[in-house]
Amino acid sequence: MLVTSSACGSGDTDVATSNSSGRTAGACVSQFEYQGRTYRDVANIDFTVTTALGFATQASCHDTGTETAETSIKRPAYAVKGISPEVAIAVGDSPSSAALHAVYSGPEVPKELQDLVRSK
């Protein structure tokens, strides 16, 4: 898979193309909070990252049973071309490494992402 990117700045012209790779290492679901919404990772959908939105927060997973303090991790969040940030965002250390995350209202991928898949 070829991933292209350009530097991510504050302008609307910075774009990176990526593919959601699914789950991260470990037993926890990749889940982030951004502007009061919870986003879960989405696998196998090609998407284009556009502008930087700020930061999303990932709560500590506690998958080893040894963590004692509640910690969270802030990661850069990016807009996804053609999708409202209220539906999906990309989260990662850079536009080219960002993974797709969406708000789910049930077990199905949001309709807007289904439409993105059909348009390819």
pLDDT of residue 116: 72
Q: Is the model more confident about 12 or about 76?
A: 76
Return the bridge partners of 49, or none.
16, 80
Side-chain half-sphere CA neighbours of 48 within 13 A:
10
Nearest one of 82, 80, 83, 90 to 34, comparing CA atoms: 90
Tokens, residue 112:
């807007």
Handedness of CA 113, 55, 98, 3 (dihedral sign): positive
Q: Give the pLDDT confidence of 29-75 residue by residue, as tens digits.
A: 789 999 999 999 988 888 999 999 999 998 666 555 555 456 788 99
4: pLDDT strictly greater than 80: no
